[in-house]
Structure 1
Amino acid sequence: MNVLMVGPDSLEKGGIATVIRNFEKHYDSSMYSLFFLSSWSSNKKWRTIGKAFWRIRKLIRVNNISIVHFHVAQRGSFFRKVLLSRFIPRECKIIFHMHASQFDRFYENSNKFTQFIIRRSFDYADRIIVLGNGWADFYKKLTKTEVIVLPNAVKIPETTLFNPTAQNIITFGRVGWRKGSYDLLQVAQQINKSYPDIRFILYGDGEIEKVGEQIKAKRMRNVCLGGWLDKREQKEVIKNAILHFLPSYHEGLPMSVLETMAAGIPNLVTEVGGLPECIVHQKNGLIVKPGDVNGMVRELEDYLAQPKYRKRLSEVSRKYVADYFSLTNYHQKWDEIYTELYLRH
C-alpha cells in the first residue's frame, strides 16, 4: 500500500522539513511505501508550487496511492494544501498533519468567510493529526473530522553530547517576537551580572536586523547571532551548549526541543503549544509562563549554580525522549493510523 506525503522540500529550513526528512531517511515499514511531493521551496517557490498542482494526480495514479498525507502550517501553507486536496480522487484518503504554531490566531484573525472555508476544509479531510492535547481541543471545535494527537519524534544519538563545563546557552529556530527573542535579551542582561562568562547564541533566521540592533544598542557582549545552521553544524554547536533556551509565545512542538533533549541538552521553555506535554518542570527540563522574564532568570540561575542538577536534567531529558519520542515508536503509530484509514477505504 502506498502513501503520498506532501509538504515543503525536505532540504528547506524549519521543523516541518525536518519531520519530512526523517520520514525520507528513517521510515521503514513492511506495509507501506512512501512517495514524496514537494509543494514549496524557497529557491523555486512558484515553480515548485505549480509543479505540485501539475504532478499530484499523475503521481497518485502511477503509484497507486491510497492515502495522501499533507503537512500543514497556517496561512499560505494551509491554503496550498486545501487547493491540492481538491485534486485528490475520491477513493484516496486525506490526512491533514497540523504543524502550525499560530493556527488559533490565524483562524481568529480571519474574516467570517475565510473561517467558513477553514472549517469546511477540515471537514473534507479524513483525519486531522495534531502535536498536543491543547491543539486537539482547539481543532475539535472547528471540525467533525476525527482529531488524533501524535507528537513529533526524533532520531536518538548513540551517546549524549552534553558537556557539563560548556558556557553557551543556545536557541534554534526563527529569531523574533514569537520565539521570545526580546525576552531572551532581557534575561541575558540580568544573567550577565552573576555569570559573565555565559554566552547566549541565537541560531536561525527571522528578525535578525531588529534583534541585532537591540544587542548593539544595549552594548550586550554576552549575546550574539549565529545564523542558520545545517544539521552537521547543529551537532557541533550542541556539543558546546549547556542549555537550549526557547522562551516562545506560540509553538506546535518544536523539533529543536526534542533534538536537543535527545542529545542530552536540557531545555528552558515556556508553557505553550505541546511543550507542557514534553517538559516536566525540574524533572527533565525547566518550564515557565511566556513573558515571565524574572521566572526565567530565577530558573536559569538555579540551573547554572548546581552541576549535579544540570547532570540529572541532562540524563532524564535524554531518557525521556528515547522512551516517548523515538522515531521507531512514532513510525509504528503512523502505520496504525494508515492501516485504520485504509481498512475504511
Structure 2
Amino acid sequence: MNILMVGPDPAEKGGISTVISNFKQYYSSDEHKLYFLSSWSGTKKWQTEWNAIRSIRRIISQKQIDLVHFHVAQKGSFFRKALLKKLVPSRCKIIFHMHASQFDMFYKNSHRLIQLFIRRTFNQTDHVVVLGENWAEFYRTITKTNVSVIQNAVRIPEKSLFNQDARTIVTFGRIGERKGSYDLLQVAERIQPMFPDVRFVLYGDGETEKVTATIQKLGLKNVTLGGWISKKEQEAILKNTLLHFLPSYHEGLPMAILETMASGIPNLSTNVGDIRDAVIHGENGILTAPGDVHEMTKQLTKLLNEPLLLEKYAVCAREKIIRDFSIENYHTNWSAFYSSSRTW
C-alpha cells in the first residue's frame, strides 16, 4: 500500500512537524510505503501551500497512492487540508489525523455555515484519528465518520537524563496565554523567595515580548527565555533539568511532555486534553486544574522539598513512556491501522 502523508514541513517548529519527522526517520514496513508532501512552511508559506495544491494529484497518480494521511490542526490548517482533500481522487482513502489543541473552541466559535462545512468535511472523510479518548468523545459529536485513537509517541533515549542536583525547571513549546505562561510567572514569583537557587527557563516562541514585559514588571530574577531550540540542544538542556512545567489551558497530547518523560524528566502539568493519559497524578508526575496558581505553587514546593519523591516520579515517568508511548509500538499501531483501511 502506498501512502501520501500531508502536513507541515518536518523541519518546522512544533509538535505536528515532530510527528511527521519521526515517521520520516523511523517508520519502516514491508507492506506500506510512505511518501511526503509539505502543505505549510514558516519560511516559504505561500510557495509551499501553492506547491501542495499544484502537485498533490500528480503525486497521487505517479506514486499510485492508495491512502492520503492528512495531519490537521484548527483554523488555517483545517481549511488547507479541506481544500487539498477535494483534490484527492475518489479511489483513494482519506485519513484526518487531528492534532488540534483547541478544535472544540474553533468549532464552537465558528459561524453556523462554517460549522456545517466542518461537519461535512469530516463526514466525507474515511476515518478520523485523534490523540486520546477525551478528544474522541468530542469529534464523535460532530461527525458520523469512525473515530479511532492512536496516541503520540517518541523515541526513547538510551538512558535517563534526570539529574537530582539540577535546579532548573523548563518549559518547551509555544509561549503565551494558552500554554499558561503567565500562570508560570506567578508561580515563579511565589517560589523565588523560598528557593532562590531555582531557575525557570521558557524555551520556544510566541508572546515573547509580552512575557518579557511581565517578567520585568514582576521583578523576577529567576525566569529567563531561552528561544526556540533544536532536538540536539534539548538533550543537552535536559541533562541539567529537574522538572518540565507546562500549565496549559488547552492541549492534545503534547510531544514536549512525552519527550521529557522519555528522558526521565518528571512533569508538573494541567489536567487538560489527553495529558492524563501520560502523566498519572501522584504516580509519575503532578496534574492540577488550569489556572490554579495556588495549587501549582503548593505542588512544586512539595517536589522541591522532597527530592526522593521527584526521583521516584522520574523513574516512573520514563517507564510509562517505554511501556505505552514508544515509537516502535506507535508505528506498529499505524501499520495495523493502514492495513485495516482495506475494509473501510
Q: Render the CA deviation track for 1:157-192: whole Å, top value 9, x for unaligned.
A: 000111110010000000000000000000001111
Aligned to 2:86: 86
* Alpha-carbon distance, 1:319 to partner: 0.6
Look up the equivalent residue of 2:217 and give its one-letter code.
A
Checking the alignment, whether the CA contact within 8 Å between 1:159 and 1:263 is kept in structure 2 is yes
Look up the equivalent residue of 1:181 and give its one-letter code.
S
Show structure 1 runs of 5+ residues with no match. Answer: none
SS across alignment from 1:268: strand
Aligned to 2:302: 302
* Alpha-carbon distance, 1:277 to partner: 1.5
**1: CA distance between counterparts of 2:219 and 2:309?**
32
Aligned to 2:19: 19
* Alpha-carbon distance, 1:8 to partner: 0.2
**2: CA distance between counterparts of 1:62 and 1:261?**
41
Q: Render the CA deviation track for 1:296-330: whole Å, top value 9, x for unaligned.
A: 01111111111211111000000100100001111
Checking the alignment, whether the CA contact within 8 Å between 1:66 and 1:342 is kept in structure 2 is no
Aligned to 1:178: 178
Look up the equivalent residue of 2:225 and give its one-letter code.
L
Checking the alignment, whether the CA contact within 8 Å between 1:164 and 1:307 is kept in structure 2 is yes
**2: CA distance between counterparts of 1:94 and 1:169?**
41
Q: How many residues align?
A: 344
Aligned to 2:121: 121
Q: Render the CA deviation track for 1:33-63: whole Å, top value 9, x for unaligned.
A: 1000000001110000000011101111111
Look up the equivalent residue of 2:85 and give its one-letter code.
S
> Do residues 274 (structure 1) and 286 (structure 2) align?
no
- Off by >6 Å, runs of 4+ in structure 1: none
**Residues 162-177 of structure 1: pairs in structure 2 closer than 5 A:** 162-177=162-177
Look up the equivalent residue of 1:316 and give its one-letter code.
C
Aligned to 2:321: 321
* Alpha-carbon distance, 1:111 to partner: 0.3
SS across alignment from 1:4: strand
SS across alignment from 1:283: coil
Look up the equivalent residue of 2:92 and give its one-letter code.
C
Show structure 2 runs of 5+ residues with no match. Answer: none
Q: Render the CA deviation track for 1:109-138: whole Å, top value 9, x for unaligned.
A: 000000000000000111100011111010
Aligned to 1:51: 51
Aligned to 1:154: 154
> Do residues 74 (structure 1) and 74 (structure 2) align?
yes
**2: CA distance between counterparts of 1:267 and 1:111?**
37
Look up the equivalent residue of 2:192 and give its one-letter code.
N
> Do residues 234 (structure 1) and 264 (structure 2) align?
no
Checking the alignment, whether the CA contact within 8 Å between 1:189 and 1:220 is kept in structure 2 is yes
Look up the equivalent residue of 2:248 and give its one-letter code.
S
Look up the equivalent residue of 2:232 and give its one-letter code.
R
**1: CA distance between counterparts of 2:179 and 2:163?**
25
Instruction: Give TM-score scaled by structure 1 length.
Output: 0.99
* Alpha-carbon distance, 1:217 to partner: 1.3
Q: Render the CA deviation track for 1:75-129: whole Å, top value 9, x for unaligned.
A: 0000000000001111100000000000001000000000000000000111100
* Alpha-carbon distance, 1:194 to partner: 1.1
**2: CA distance between counterparts of 1:183 and 1:175?**
11
Aligned to 2:288: 288
SS across alignment from 1:65: coil
Aligned to 2:41: 41
**1: CA distance between counterparts of 2:32 and 2:313?**
38
* Alpha-carbon distance, 1:294 to partner: 0.7
Aligned to 1:199: 199
User: Superposition RMSD on alpha carbons, in Å?
Assistant: 0.6
Aligned to 1:4: 4
Aligned to 1:134: 134
Look up the equivalent residue of 1:25 and give its one-letter code.
Q
**1: CA distance between counterparts of 2:92 and 2:176?**
40
SS across alignment from 1:210: helix
Aligned sequence identity (%): 54
SS across alignment from 1:250: coil
Look up the equivalent residue of 1:122 and give its one-letter code.
F
Look up the equivalent residue of 1:284 and give its one-letter code.
N
**1: CA distance between counterparts of 2:221 and 2:85?**
50
SS across alignment from 2:128: strand
Look up the equivalent residue of 1:152 and give its one-letter code.
N
SS across alignment from 1:193: coil
Instruction: Give TM-score scaled by structure 2 length.
Output: 0.99
Aligned to 1:106: 106
**2: CA distance between counterparts of 1:128 and 1:65?**
19
**2: CA distance between counterparts of 1:28 and 1:67?**
17
SS across alignment from 2:66: strand
Look up the equivalent residue of 1:253 and give its one-letter code.
L
Look up the equivalent residue of 1:147 and give its one-letter code.
V
Look up the equivalent residue of 1:183 and give its one-letter code.
D
**1: CA distance between counterparts of 2:169 and 2:71?**
31
**1: CA distance between counterparts of 2:202 and 2:342?**
44
